[in-house]
Structures are given as structure tokens and as C-alpha cells.
Structure 1
């Protein structure tokens, strides 16, 4: 029987109350900022392009084309394990409701809202997992990708898909999974 994501209607109070309060305050501030139409559109597109690891698959292909095959492979494997930890394990363990879409400015909203549990952010976990995996093999290539991972993570807040703690949790899970992968498979030449 396949594991299904925990529906967002079943919140779990795993995070301390002060974190939930901080999340609400941060979301209120983010949503109160007047948007720039071109930024709003592009962050929404970036968030959508990062669905299912598509963005990172394109980046991995680019890395392989410029001779960074090991970095591409390690990044992709790290992304896969980070995605599983966040989306299959994390969301089932922690759950949580997503931010209310009514609070998000209309021009920032995604066309279709995610229905899975909120914590942790799978997008942030995949971004951090991929970039940390790449960093293990090629720190220079990863340095160029950190802003992209940051933009993907921020986009999830900007479009109202996640709370700040969801994104931070995803970043920690993704980086942690990639670093654990290094213990299992040490890069060549080290």
C-alpha cells in the first residue's frame, strides 16, 4: 500500500507555540509587502518549475554538460533522498496546515495550491539537498547555485505555500541528508 501525504486538514502541534506565533507574524509581514508584478510572476514560475525536482534535473544536466558529472549525480541522489525524507517521512510525522491562501495577495498565489501537509517544505529540502550534494563534489559550482536554492525557498513563502518554519525545516533536512550521504560515499580523491 503506497504511503500518501498526510492531508493538511489534520494538523499536528509538534512545533512549539512560539514557533507558530513567529510563523504567523512572518507571514503577515511577507504578505503586507506590496509586490512588484514581474517579481511576483517570476517567483511563482520558479516555485512551479521546481515542482517534482524539474528545475534541479535541468541544473544537473547542465552540470554534466560542463564536466561536473559527479557533482550532478551526487546532487541528484541527495535531492532524491531529501525529497523522500521531507515528503514521505516528514510530512507524515509532522503534518500541519498551510498558510491561509486568503491572506496571500492574489497576484502571488499559485494556480493550484498544494494539498499535502505543510511541514517540512519539500521544495526547500530538495533545493538544499541538491546544492549541498553538489558542494561535496564541487564547492565552486555549488556557490553559484546557492542563490537559486535561496530563491526557490523564498518563493514558497512568497506564494503562500509554506510557513517560515516549514522552509527552515526543509533546508535542514535537505542539507542533513546530503551530508549523511557523504559519510556513506566519500568523494573520489579525498
Structure 2
């Protein structure tokens, strides 16, 4: 057993923080509503209603990019899900996924949405970050993923949001340079 496997096994099966009983309905709801990234649409709507339309758009864009990346990684990394099919924690979910466990696509999407929100608006991040953490926890608590699946998913999501922010800054810098060039070019062309 590798170090990562031992970490996963110890954290998931020997942890009092992750009982095998049926989770709280809020935990179940977080897991169910985040499937396919659906949870993030009403959250983006609330952000937009709060006057944070730009943040909502960026966060949804990051989640939309992150989700297929998570699916692509899972096609490459074939990993069995935790052996918990008979536990009340797992049976609480209507879904019984059998796809590759790594990474948690719920965590990838949640982290991308949350990190993009935090990079754009710290005030909004105070509202969004607890939801991100709840979704990540829900995937552990319902025994659908190993801890490293969720941690890997969170990392991938954050990296997508950081890349998106970097690309956005580069695009803004290019647009500003083009505007300056358009202003400066006629001045110099008249004197040549």
C-alpha cells in the first residue's frame, strides 16, 4: 500500500469525523445539487443580484472550463471508489457513481467557482467559500471519494481559476496596448 493509499484509508475509514451513518440532509443536498455544477448557477444568480455580475460570469466561466478538465483527468487516472456501497452514508445519495474516483469533479467545479470568485471579489468569497467546502466535505462524508480525490479536485479547480485570471489579465493588457497603439500610430504617421 502506497503512502497516498494509507492516508486515504486512515482518513476515510478510521476517522470519527466521517461516520458511516446517514449524513445530515444539508450535506446530502450539497452533494446532490452540485452534481454537474448545477449548484453554481443559482449562486451566480445571487451574486449577480447583489451587483456582482462580473464576478458571477468569471466564476461560472471557470467552473465551465474546470468540469471537462476534471472529466479528462478521470479518463486518464482509473481509480476505484471507496468500498462503501453498503454504508448508510453512501446509500443516502440517489446516485451510485462507478466512474473513476480521481479527481472529484464536484470538488474541481466547486473550487474553480470559489477561487475565481475569491480572485475577483473577496467580499463575495466570504459567501461562496463555505459552499465550496461543504460540497467538498459532502463527497467525503457520503463516501463517494477518497480524501486525495477531493484534495486533487480542489487543486485542479484552483489552478483553472488562477489560469483564467492570468489569461484575463493578459487579454486586458493586450487590449490596452492595442488602444494605445491606435492613439499613438496616427501621431507618428503624420510626422513621417
Give the TM interval when normalised to the shorter protein.
0.7 to 0.9
In structure 1, the partner of 2:43 is: 59
Measured after TM superposition, the shift of residue 35 of structure 1 is 6.9
TM value normalised by structure 1:
0.82
In structure 2, the partner of 1:17 is: 2
The unaligned stretches of length 5 or more in structure 2 are: 174-192
The unaligned stretches of length 5 or more in structure 1 are: 1-15
1:168/1:17 CA distance change after superposition, 3 Å: same
User: Could you say which structure has the larger radius of gyration?
Assistant: 2
4+ runs deviating over 6 angstroms: 187-190
What do residues 63-112 of structure 1 show as CA deviations (whole Å, max 9, x unaligned)? Answer: 1111100100000010011111111x210111200011246335763122
**Cα separation, 1, equivalents of 2:147 and 2:19:** 19
In structure 1, the partner of 2:24 is: 40
| Superposition RMSD in Å | 2.5
In structure 1, the partner of 2:186 is: none
1:137/1:166 CA distance change after superposition, 3 Å: same
**Cα separation, 1, equivalents of 2:111 and 2:11:** 21
1:131 aligns with 2:114: yes
TM value normalised by structure 2:
0.81
Q: Using CA pairs below 8 Å that are at least 6 residues apart, which structure has the higher relative contact order?
A: 1
**Cα separation, 1, equivalents of 2:155 and 2:91:** 26
Measured after TM superposition, the shift of residue 26 of structure 1 is 1.0
